A = this chain, B = another copy of it.
Amino acid sequence: MSPTSSSTAPTGTKRERRKEARPGELLEAALDLFVEKGFAATRVDEVAARAGVSKGTLFLYFPSKEELFKAVVRQNIAGRFVEWAQEVETFDGSAAELLRDCYLEWWERVGSTKASGITKLIFSEGQNFPEIMAFYKQEVILPGQELVRRVIQRGIDRGEFRPVPIDCILHVVLAPMIFLMLWKHSMATCIPDGLDLAPEQFIDAQIDNVLHGLVVRSDTPSSAPSPSPTAARGT
């Protein structure tokens, strides 16, 4: 559609255009089904069918079910850390604002999307697929931890955060996000009552909690540092 620089090459016939779209269509179908039914319970036939192709065609683009899954992870999570790292690097607000931003952006781009189902899947089935587990650790967990580590380190370096032992606080920071994803894709799918957890509020509460522990307090106890004094506990 968008007339990019390739206007000189007319991009070819219907078939060719379909070919270029295939991986994307398959990836999308795979994401849907993996999230909906889990890795083991998802049949490659189904993925292919949902993408509108035959089973054989799927294996034309992805050499195995595991590789298909890895590609899904790459497209939806792992491949985006580079961009995120740059955003963190170029952020020019306070460390507290940055951390808050990370939480909210994460929720918008991952947590609230289908992609969050992948994490649930890893927690549920990762043990049975060691290679996938290793891949996920390498491509998602470690980069994610590294990203958070930098955010906190930045706060410490600038004197905005207390000099906490980072590795120790890492899980405290990440746990709520992970929990949210797990909750959303298990309990929440079966408990549509109002009793459920409201993600945005939960995140706000977590941000407050974490910043409470991290931010260097001025002498007056309840002063500025808490960026959104009314957000979490109130409302």
Contacts and interface: CB of A to CB of B under 8 A. Distances in A.
A45 B83 CA distance: 40
A15 to B, nearest CB: 14
Nearest to A197: B171
A34 to B, nearest CB: 12
B208 A213 contact: yes
What secondary structure prevails in chain A residues at the interface with B?
A: helix
A123 B40 contact: no
- The range of chain A's interface size is 35 or more
A234 to B, nearest CB: 8
A233 B168 contact: yes
Contact of A221 (B164, B197, B217): B217
Pairs of residues from A and B, 6 with the lowest C-beta to C-beta distance, nearest first: A124-B124, A133-B190, A209-B209, A179-B179, A123-B186, A41-B128
